[in-house]
Amino acid sequence: MSGTKRNRISIPIEHPNVRNAEAFLNSWSESFDLQKSGKTRFTFRSSTSETEVTVIFFDDYRKALDYDKRHFHPRSLTACSTVNGTALYVILGKDPDLVSSLAGHFAGRE
């Protein structure tokens, strides 16, 4: 990635998990660009692999988990989601290994 200018992600809302989401996105090996933004939902895409990450912020963990189960199951090799704190991360991509690795990155290392 030498010579490539990285975009620093900044999410313009007040929420307890915003700084974590920014740190996760900014620390990934590929740079992400904001594609869509809403009140609590932001979609980013990597121009390198075209992997897409949507971050949805909720008021509590249970709401995030319930929304995930209602809207993003069943999962597949190229589409998965994970909840970290009160933020839901939805990952879509062409490379199953990259999608899985990115989901683990957002879930945090236990």
Interatomic CA distance for residues 87 and 103, integer angstroms: 13
* Model pTM above 0.85: yes
CATH architecture of structural domain 18-107: 2-Layer Sandwich (3.30)
Sign of CA dihedral 110, 59, 55, 91: positive
Find the mean pLDDT for residues 67-72: 95
Q: How confident is the model over 17-69, as pLDDT tens digits?
A: 999 999 999 999 999 999 999 999 999 999 899 999 999 999 999 999 999 99
